[in-house]
Chains A and B, each alone.
Chain A
Amino acid sequence: MIRELMKATTRRNVLAAVIAMVAFPAAAQEPIKVGMSGPFSGGLSLLGQSVRDGVEVAFGEINDAGGVNGRKLQFIAEDDGYEPMRTIASARKLVEQDKVAALLAVTGTAPSAALLPFVTESKTPLLFPYAFAHALTTPTNRDVFTTLPEVRVQMRVLANYILKELKQTKIAAIYQNDDFGQDAVAGLEERFGKANVPLVKLPFDRGTTNFSGVVAQAKAAGVEHVVFLGIPKDAALVMREANNLGWKPQFSGHNALGDPQTFQLAGPLAEGAIAIAVMEPLDSDKPAVKAFLAAQKKYKPNTKPTTYSMHGYQSGKLFAEIVKRSGGKTDEASIVAALEGMKNYDTGLMAPLTFSATQHAGALSGAIMKAQGGKWKIISDWLSAD
């Protein structure tokens, strides 16, 4: 009797499941798998974990709203400790073993660059890495798309602003003498060269703590504007050194300068400095930023929102948008086509994004931020580099 009853219930369950599968095909569909590799251990773990948290927040939000085209998004994040050889292992595991549709928000410039041969040959979309490398999008790689403007683009925006708005012509660049610094200076020279404005170039070695020489040289050259290209800690040292000499030039820098950290390090000396914003600041009044902060509080209450997690969040949202545009198809060709068709798409978190078959760097623009009252405030629209 009991057995009969059980049989009946199981049969009914099976029947119910079959009906569900027929009636709501979406519910039974497989989730869309997306992979990421980043440093979750080691010195840069804060960066990697932040980006990952951001993507998880976005996916949590999207899945709670029913997923994309009825399919849930599944996120698999792998640790690489910021070592490129381990990034390759992560990526191969994600693509060959987990069968992810795309690699999203891979974190780190060298790790992302190391993936280029693999993603090209395996035809895996590498979407919106947290990286600023020139090589990712120049020349255009079929499977690589970025949102963050590389430092060369940022410097062209800054140079435009210096020439047109500030109308300053006595300019020096104090820059870290490495690949990053030289890339940035190349961007500045490109723009200043066109206006026949000379640039005083003062390199320093990464890791140095003595900036008295370069600052004295800049002062002696009669400079009114100093573009500083390095980490915020060194920027603070340069500002102190200038202050010691009783010299007050206009300071500016790339997106790293526009960090709250700069105020902690330089104090009131940072006031009035300008920096390039690549995304909205966290204390912005824009509704998209508020929505992001609320979402992170809801889905990851134990984590702190950062600009890194904002990038991860935006990447997650963008991925859902692409899948929506491709009609739910997640093969490489559909993803690439959907992205290349994206024109002037505004996430509300950064400059509008435009991709094309020949341009895979989505944003060739930045905004100007100014240090006012211990905060960074955006004081311009999103300005194009050209």
Chain B
Amino acid sequence: MTVATDIARPRRSLSFGAGALLLGLCFAAACAAPFVLNGYGLYVLTLTGVFALVALGLNLLTGYAGQISLCHAAFFGVGAYATAILTQKAGVPYLLSILAGALFTAAVGAIVAVPAMRLRSLYLAIATLGFGVVLQKIIFEWRSLTNGGGGLALSPPAIAGYELGASGLYFLTLAFVMLGLWGAWNVSRGRTGRALLIVKESEIAAGALGIPAARFKVIAFAISAFYAAVGGGLFAYLVRYIHPENFSVGLSIAFLSMVVIGGLGTIGGSIVGAAFYVIIPELLRGIKDAPGLVFGLLLVIVMVLMPQGLWGLVRRLGRRT
């Protein structure tokens, strides 16, 4: 099989049955995890889930619609702060706060998309970079609400009076990841997903087909920000101490790397990418002084040997069996 056909027919590589089996196995393993792992392992796994949600959203924007965003850490932060403030200061129930925070952040995302309607590639990246810095600065300066550089310490999360422990939060995250997967799958297979793919290829072609590129870009930004904010709402209560400096450009670049390492434009890739990004550095802890170096080299190796990302590899293996 040539490379050309490989790219043209990526979707047929895993049969539906094999895909469902894989998903089922992963889900079963994920459900069993809290009974096997200690608190440390569970924390790392929950963090993976949180980042996977953000990556799923960013993948819709970058993988499907071809728009680069360097402000996803800020969306993540707005979601985290909105959820934290709603629950701690306004006494809104946790789940409702996550939803409200995510809707608010989606609106912010739609506003970011306004310059995105005119900009592309590097220019868009720089504009979103600026927006991320502005959002971070607002969180920092709005001390009365966010406590600025003092950070915000949170008490344990509760749902309907029942305090969520580490396992509870893990299962909540898992539920959101499943919802997120389902949502991303639906968007990507539906009219919006097809429109986004055409916008990515050529906005002129999209216009000729009667697809309003600007509108779909706004939609992509809003959905993507929604995902990031849900992740943020979970993150806030996972670490229970949020600080404006958590949400810097470095994290935005990390999110982008997750999507690219996992495989641009693939839903499974977002999950695998997030797992790679969170779990590999933990496994490299044993190497004294050099974990950063080894991790950096691994990134290069993955990109050179697997241009379609880790998910591309999973697929190729799946096809061979």
A binding-site residues for B, Cβ under 8 Å: 40-42, 78-79, 81, 83-86, 88-89, 92-93, 95-97, 110, 113-114, 116-118, 134-135, 178-180
Contacts and interface: CB of A to CB of B under 8 A. Distances in A.
Nearest to B293: A41
Contacts of B285: 78-79, 93
B246 A92 contact: no
Interface stretch (B57-65, B148-156, B210-218, B256-264): B148-156
Nearest to A92: B40
Contacts of A86: 281
Nearest to A97: B40
B66 to A, nearest CB: 29
Interface of B: 38-40, 43-44, 47, 140, 148-151, 153-154, 156, 235, 238-241, 243, 245-246, 281-282, 285, 289, 291-292
Contact of B43 (A41, A78, A92, A110): A92
Given A116-B241, A135-B150, A179-B149, A85 B47 contact: yes
A83 B246 CA distance: 7
Contacts of A110: 151, 243, 245-246
Contacts of A85: 47, 235, 238-239, 246
Nearest to A93: B40
Nearest to B284: A79
Nearest to A81: B292
B186 to A, nearest CB: 30
Contacts of A42: 292
B164 to A, nearest CB: 13
A89 B40 contact: yes
B150 A179 contact: yes
A118 B148 CA distance: 22
A17 B245 CA distance: 55
B39 A113 contact: no
A97 B42 CA distance: 12
A95 B149 CA distance: 28
Given A92-B43, A114-B243, A117-B153, 13 more contacts: A78-B285, A79-B285, A79-B292, A84-B241, A84-B243, A89-B47, A92-B40, A113-B241, A114-B151, A135-B150, A135-B153, A178-B149, A179-B148
A113 B243 contact: yes
B151 to A, nearest CB: 6
A60 to B, nearest CB: 16
Nearest to A98: B40
A224 to B, nearest CB: 31
The 7 closest A-B pairs by CB, nearest first: A179-B149, A41-B292, A92-B40, A117-B240, A114-B241, A93-B40, A96-B38
Contacts of B289: 40
A96 B40 contact: yes
A178 B140 contact: yes
Contacts of A178: 140, 148-149
Contacts of A84: 239, 241, 243, 246
Nearest to B282: A89
12 contacts: A40-B289, A79-B285, A83-B246, A93-B40, A95-B40, A96-B40, A97-B40, A110-B245, A117-B240, A117-B241, A178-B148, A180-B149
A183 to B, nearest CB: 8
B38 A89 contact: no
Contacts of A118: 240
Nearest to B296: A41
Given A40-B289, A79-B291, A117-B241, A89 B44 contact: yes
B43 A89 contact: yes
Contacts of A180: 149
Nearest to A83: B246
A88 B237 CA distance: 13
B138 to A, nearest CB: 14
A24 B134 CA distance: 64
Contacts of B243: 84, 110, 113-114
Contacts of B39: 92, 96
Nearest to A177: B141
A113 B291 CA distance: 24
A92 B37 CA distance: 12
B301 to A, nearest CB: 19
B130 to A, nearest CB: 15
Contacts of A135: 150-151, 153
A116 B242 CA distance: 12
Nearest to B51: A85
Nearest to B38: A96
B44 A116 contact: no
Contacts of B44: 89
Nearest to A179: B149
A134 B245 CA distance: 17
Contacts of A83: 246
B104 to A, nearest CB: 23
Contacts of B291: 41, 79
B111 to A, nearest CB: 24
Contacts of B282: 89, 93
Contacts of B239: 84-85, 88, 114
Contacts of B47: 85, 89
Contacts of B240: 117-118
A110 B246 CA distance: 9
A113 B151 contact: yes
Residue of B47, B148, B243 ringed by the most chain A CB atoms within 10 A: B243
B265 to A, nearest CB: 28
Contacts of A113: 151, 153, 241, 243
B194 to A, nearest CB: 36
Residue of B38, B39, B241, B281 ringed by the most chain A CB atoms within 10 A: B241
A79 B281 CA distance: 10
A97 B151 CA distance: 28
B39 to A, nearest CB: 5
Contacts of A81: 292
Nearest to A78: B285
Residue of B44, B149, B285 ringed by the most chain A CB atoms within 10 A: B149
A114 B80 CA distance: 15
B134 to A, nearest CB: 14
Contacts of B40: 89, 92-93, 95-97
A160 B69 CA distance: 51
Nearest to A85: B239
A179 B245 CA distance: 12
A89 B285 CA distance: 11
